[in-house]
Structure 1
Amino acid sequence: MGHREDLLEGAKRCLLEKGFVRTTARDIVKASGTNLASIGYHYGSKDELLAQAYVALVEGVSDDFDAPEQAPSRTEPGSLERFQEVWSNIIATMQGPDSMWRLSMEIVVMGDQLPAVRDHLAKAQREGARGILPMFMGGEESDVSDEEVDTLGMLYMTLMTGLIAQWMFDPETAPRADQLTEGLRRLMNAATRSS
Structure 2
Amino acid sequence: MGHREDLLEGAKRCLLEKGFVRTTARDVVKESGTNLASIGYHYGSKDALLAEAYVDLIANLGEGFDGFGGDGTVGEPGSLERFQEVWANVTRSFTEARSIWMLTFEVITNDDRLPGVREQLVKAQDEGRRGLIPLLLGGRESDVDDETLRTVGGFYQTLLNGLCVQWLFDPASATPASHLTEGLRRVIEATAKTGG
- Trace 1:1-195 onto structure 2 (pairs within 5 A): 1-67=1-67, 68-69=69-70, 71=72, 74-96=74-96, 98-195=98-195
Distance 2:71 2:159 in 1: 27
Distance 2:191 2:109 in 1: 34
Q: Which runs of 4+ in 1 moved over 3 A?
A: 68-71
In structure 2, relative to structure 1, the CA distance for the partners of 1:129 and 1:97 (3 Å cut) is closer
Instruction: Give 1:109 shift.
Output: 1.5
- Give the match's secondary structure for 1:111: coil
Size of the alignment, in residue pairs?
Answer: 194
Is 2:48–2:116's contact at 8 Å kept on the other side of the alignment?
A: yes
Instruction: Give 1:69 shift.
Output: 4.2
Greater shift, 185-194 or 97-106, is seen at 97-106
Distance 1:113 1:69 in 2: 37
Q: Identity over aligned residues, as a percent?
A: 59
Distance 1:40 1:110 in 2: 23
TM score, norm. by length of structure 2: 0.94
Instruction: Give 1:98 shift.
Output: 4.7
Which consecutive residues of structure 2, in runs of 5 or more, have no partner in the other structure? none
Is 1:12–1:53's contact at 8 Å kept on the other side of the alignment?
A: yes
Distance 1:141 1:29 in 2: 35
TM score, norm. by length of structure 1: 0.95
Distance 2:181 2:47 in 1: 37
Instruction: Give 1:70 shift.
Output: 5.3
Which consecutive residues of structure 1, in runs of 5 or more, have no partner in the other structure? none
Distance 1:69 1:63 in 2: 8
Instruction: Give 1:99 shift.
Output: 3.6
Instruction: Give 1:120 shift.
Output: 0.5
Is 2:63–2:70's contact at 8 Å kept on the other side of the alignment?
A: no
RMSD over aligned Cα atoms: 1.3
